[in-house]
Amino acid sequence: MRQELYDLAVLGCGPAGLSAAVNATIRNKKVVVVGAEVCSPPLHKAQKINNYLGMPDVSGGELLDRFVQHARQIDIEILNSKATSISELNGLFSILLGDEIITTRSIVIATGIPYRATLPREDYFLGRGLGYCATCDGPIYRGKDVIIVAHSSEAEDEANFMAEICRRVYYLPLYKNPGKLHHAVQMVDSRPKDIMGDEFVVGLELKDGSILNAEGVFVLGGETAPDRLIPGLEIKDNHIVVNRQQETNLPGVYAAGDCTGPPYQVAKSVGEGQVAGLNASRYASRQSG
């Protein structure tokens, strides 16, 4: 367990997250950023950005590099990890990152374009055999068959873990070149079509027409929907509800960038990140004061 108490934990290392972190760091706050290996994949892939004022005609990758460089230049700590759940006690937030926990006075959520369900009826089956964290729910499936639908290589560790406790683990990678998996993990070369079951998951229908029987389906390695991460967070039209101060409905929790709604644009994200970072800093000061 990390022993430091942070003033601010930023979830996401895209334009909004880094802007929040830079602004809070300049206010002498103790800041940590939790982000994926590639910060903001949509920006990373953008061929040309010509509307971030002051830096005309750059590629998305170049802009992102400069953003990360700005953050590193002032020694901002960036953890290559992902928050899997968040709880609050006495005004302090505990954030679970895999098998590590960090504790913070305030949070800025900047996780990008919101998660969309991969499979039809995902919401219906959530908690009825469908889950987003295999290591969390794993023990329930001891000795049983499970299916892992994997958005990225981040899912591989969880698949290997499940292979040790489940009877069968089917692995459907939705990305290219999956790495080496536990010998008991059965790789499936097809795309998922629909979850099968009435009240509970009984299997998965694939696009090639075949069927996999299983009691559990995990969708892993994608973005976690923020309201699953923090219970009670107000969401509307799939986006986190914020006011002009970037405050969510939960005290100490701010949000910025694409996760708060369109336009999905760099300057909008950087601006909102700044406001969120400054207001979270002020909140943390009041809490520690």
Q: Which two tokens stand for residue 256?
A: 């910025």
Contact range with a copy of itself by CB under 8 A, out of 116-124, 161-169, 200-208, 267-275? 267-275
At which residue do the structure tokens 């290589």 appear?
A: 153
Q: Contacts with a copy of itself in 12-41 (CB under 8 A)?
A: 15, 18-19, 22-23, 26
Q: Can you tell me the distance from the alpha carbon of 49 to that of 151, in angstroms, rounded to the nearest whole number?
A: 26
Burial class (CB in 10 A: 0-12, 13-18, 19+), 44: middle
Residue placing its CB nearer to a copy of itself in the complex, 55 or 211: 55
Residue placing its CB nearer to a copy of itself in the complex, 224 or 274: 274
Residue type (1 letter), 112? G
The separation between the first and the last C-alpha atoms of the chain, rounded to the nearest angstrom, is: 25
Total number of residues that touch a copy of itself (CB under 8 A): 36
Residue placing its CB nearer to a copy of itself in the complex, 46 or 126: 46
Question: What is the b/e burial string over 110-125, where b = at least 16 CB atoms within 10 angstroms of the residue's CB?
Answer: bbbbbbeeebeebeeb
3-state secondary structure of 193: strand
Q: Contacts with a copy of itself in 43-82 (CB under 8 A)?
A: 50-56, 63, 66-67, 70, 73-74
**Is the preceding peptide bond at 263 cis, omega within 30 degrees of 0?**
yes
Contact range with a copy of itself by CB under 8 A, out of 151-159, 174-182, 228-236, 257-265? 257-265
Quote the least distance from Cβ 86 to a copy of itself, whole Å. 24
Burial class (CB in 10 A: 0-12, 13-18, 19+), 141: buried
Residue placing its CB nearer to a copy of itself in the complex, 67 or 93: 67
Count CB neighbours of 181 within 10 A.
20
Quote the least distance from Cβ 70 to a copy of itself, whole Å. 5
136 forms part of the interface with a copy of itself (CB under 8 A):
no
Quote the least distance from Cβ 110 to a copy of itself, whole Å. 12
Contact range with a copy of itself by CB under 8 A, out of 36-44, 103-111, 189-197, 272-280? 272-280
Query: DSSP code of 246?
Result: -
- State the residues that interact with a copy of itself by CB under 8 A: 15, 18-19, 22-23, 26, 50-56, 63, 66-67, 70, 73-74, 242-244, 260-261, 263, 265, 267-275, 278
